[in-house]
Each structure stands twice: as C-alpha cells, then as structure tokens.
Amino acid sequence: MRKVLEPQMELGELPIGMIELDPRSRDDIPQILRGLQHLYTTPEVRAEVFAILEELVPERSTETGPEKVDVENGRPGMSQWNLLVLGVLRLGLNADYDRIRELANEHKTIRQFLGHSGWDDDTSYGLQTLRDNLTRFTPEVLDRINQVVVRAGHRALKKSLEDGLVGRCDSFVVETDVHYPTDTNLLLDAIRKVIGLSAELAAANDRTEWRQHAYHQRQFKQDRFPRLHAVSMDKGFHSPSNQTALRQLVDTVVLPKKGRCNRAEAEREADPTFAALRRTHAAVESAINALEVHGLDRCRDHGIDGFRRYVGLAVLARNIQHVGAILRRQERDAEKRRRGPYRKAA
C-alpha cells in the first residue's frame, strides 16, 4: 500500500508542525527543513502538494506495457512525502546517495520529518532503495510542485498580486556525462514546428481547432507565470528576433543591444524603468551561484531524463530552502520585537 503520508501516527512520533529547529543554526539543513515544514503546516499548500505527490505511483512491467501498481494492495513502500523530503535534501545539500542514506538513517531531526520515532523505530533505508525511489520524480511533477512553492514564497514575503513579477534571466552550464542535446531552444523550435504543421493540416482539411495557433506559440514559454510583466537579460541574449519574441510575451523587456544604438533604441534604454531593472539584473548571478552550490555544479544522474529530473529537483530544493530562510528570518525578527531592545547595566 502506497500513501503520501501515513495518517496514523506511531507511539513516540512527533507531528511535523511540532518539530523544533534550532533558530541559531546557520547550516543548510534547518533552512530546508523549515521550508518543508511550512509546506506541510499550511493547509492549502499541503493540499496542493499532496495532490501532486499522489501521482508518484510506481509502475510494473506487464505484457501490454508498463502499468501503475495498485496502491491499495501489496507491501508498503516509501511514502511520497518521504520521497519529497529526501529528494529535496539530496539536491539542497548537493549530496550523493551515500550521504542521503547516512542522514536518513542517523540524523534525528530528519528522521522525525520522515515520520520515525526516536526510541522504538529501527527503520533504515538501503542505498538501492533510495536510488530506485528518488528517481520516480518526473520533471513535470517537480515543475508543478515548484509552482506551488513559488506561490507560497510570495505569500510569505507578502507580495501583492497587483504588483506583478519581474524576472531575471541568464544561462549557465551544468556539467554532466550525458552527451545528448539538451538545449531548450531545440525543444522550443520543435514545439513551434509541430504547432505550425498542425495548423497547416487543419486548414487544409477545413478544421478550425488550430485557428489560434500563433497565440499558442507565443504563450508556450511563460504561460505558467501570468503575472510576469518584466524580464531582464544581459547583452549575450540580444538579437532582433529575441527582442521581438520577448515583447510579445512580457510588457517590459530589459535586453540591452550589442554595439551602437540608434535613436529609438537609445531612448528605450534610457527609460527609468529599463535603467532600474538593468541595475538590479546582477542579482541573477547570486541565484545562479546558489543553484550551483546546492546541486547544479554537476549532474550526478544519467540519461536525458535523469538530467531533466536533476535540474528540476535542484530548483525545487533551492526554492524550498529560500522559503525556509525567509520564515526563519521573520521568526527571529518577531522574537527580537517581543524581547525588546537590550539595555546595558548601569
């Protein structure tokens, strides 16, 4: 029987919301666990995340092809919540499976998050068990969970829905032993071609289902974040086609031109909004560095599917850690306000 989380608690097991984390620790683990704790203890966020995790059902080979196993029968396996906890820790700590196994078996607080009591629970995780289960994540599932985490982070920061979002874009290399094309531009070109050919075939057969194909092509890249109203990039991304395509997607495009600007381009780049967003674009480098430190310096998984899963899980882990860091900072500030200012003795 496979469950997202076992509803019946064992003797000695702590509710996840009651697990205490050291507020003074500057290690990565408490930040990641605090982010996971927020996902679990916020009812609307937990409901969304658990609904997605329910889809992570193992498959078995049959004569007619792979089929999902019956979640109501069979021996119990790792819960989907435990998969999320250990998967996020793996990438958030830039750890290999050996370290994750050691943490899952020996780290007291992590075992509490996995639902194990401290005194009468000898559950241990084997290396191959972790390898087999943590690869059940798909890039699509990770992307949907990440969108829930991003929205939770915006609420934690008290971002107004009317303010909109500003994106910063850059590229960097994730090392891997995979020798297959992984450029997302190839995928985008393929999708555009498929949409275009489908529209041509529909028109030739007097079908109207694809009459909005041009709109769908424009919306393909950023329709997951409809509040995104501005994006900044460095000069390396400049080309006339990129300028045109981006303007169809977002209201404000901060993409400086290489070389000399004509009068219209100079006026565009002198606009106060353009100049302000260009000055803050450098913050994207710290985000890239954070991803590289927390798993994306080198892909440890194999194959193109493993590469996509690894990158998706790293982004999710970093966002969960960032949410945890925000919440911990807010809790420390609230505690300081309750204590009041320190006074020196006379």
Q: For 146-192, write each residue's pLDDT tens digit.
A: 999 988 888 888 877 677 777 777 887 877 764 444 455 566 666 77
Whole-number Cα distances in Å, 163 to 3, 157, 166, 227: 39, 12, 9, 8
Whether 82 and 61 have beta carbons less than 8 Å apart is answered as no
230-269 pLDDT per residue, tens: 778 777 777 777 777 777 777 777 778 777 778 877 877 7
- pLDDT on residue 86: 92
Residue 287 lies in a domain: no
Residue-wise pLDDT for 193-230, tens only, equals 777 788 888 888 888 777 776 666 656 557 566 677 77
Mean pLDDT for the stretch of residues 276-286: 80
Nearest to 80 by CA among 53, 100, 101: 53
Residue of 62, 262, 282, 301 lying closest to 176 (CA atoms): 301
Considering the domain architecture, whether residues 323 and 224 belong to the same structural domain is answered as no
Domain co-membership, 48 together with 129:
yes
Q: Please answer whether residues 110 and 33 qualify as being in contact, where contact means their C-beta atoms are separated by less than 8 angstroms.
A: yes
Query: Do 138 and 180 reside in the same domain of the chain?
Result: no
Same domain, 21 and 139: yes
308: tokens are: 């996509």
Q: Which long-range contacts (CB under 8 A, 24 or more apart) does 192-201 make?
A: 192/217, 192/220, 195/220
pLDDT on residue 80:
87
- For residues 309 and 274, membership in a common domain is answered with no
Q: How many domains does the chain fold into? A: 2
- Residue 10 domain-assigned? no
Residue type, 74: G
Task: Count CB-CB contacts under 10 A for residue 300.
Answer: 16
Considering the domain architecture, whether residues 143 and 59 belong to the same structural domain is answered as yes
60 bridge partner residues:
67
Using alpha carbons, select from 42, 47, 36 the residue that is nearest to residue 87: 36
Q: Please report the beta strands in the chain, taking only residues with DSSP state E, as ranges in sequence order.
A: 59-62, 65-68, 165-168, 228-232, 252-254
For residue 345, being part of any structural domain is answered with no
- Would you say 45 and 150 are in contact if contact means Cβ atoms under 8 Å apart? no
Q: Based on the domain organization, do 125 and 38 belong to the same domain?
A: yes
41 within domain boundaries: yes
CB 52 within 8 A of CB 148: yes
- 124 plus 215 within the same structural domain: no
Is 228 in the same domain as 311? no
Cα within 13 Å of Cα(72), Cβ side:
0
Report d(CA 332, CA 56) in Å as an integer. 36
- Contact status, residue 33 vs residue 113, Cβ threshold 8 Å: yes
Neighbouring CB atoms inside 10 A of 221's CB total 13
Same domain assignment for residues 27 and 141: yes
Which of 106, 113, 94, 101 has its CA nearest to residue 35?
A: 113
Calculate Rg over the CA atoms of the chain.
24
pLDDT of residue 60: 62
Kindly list the distances between the CA atom of residue 130 and the CA atoms of 3, 78, 96, 133, 138, in Å, as whole numbers in the listed order.
17, 9, 11, 5, 16
Question: What domain range is 239 assigned to?
Answer: 171-232+234-280
- Specify the pLDDT at position 76: 62
Phi-psi region of 18 (alpha: psi -120 to 50; beta: other; left: phi over 0): alpha
Q: Are residues 116 and 220 in the same domain?
A: no
Same domain (yes/no): 256, 320: no
- Whether residue 248 lies inside any domain: the answer is yes
133: enclosing H helix or E strand: helix 127-134
Q: Using alpha carbons, select from 93, 116, 94 the residue that is nearest to residue 104.
A: 116
> Using one digit for the tens of pLDDT, what is the confidence trace for 80-133?
888 899 999 998 888 889 999 999 998 988 988 888 876 677 888 889 889 888
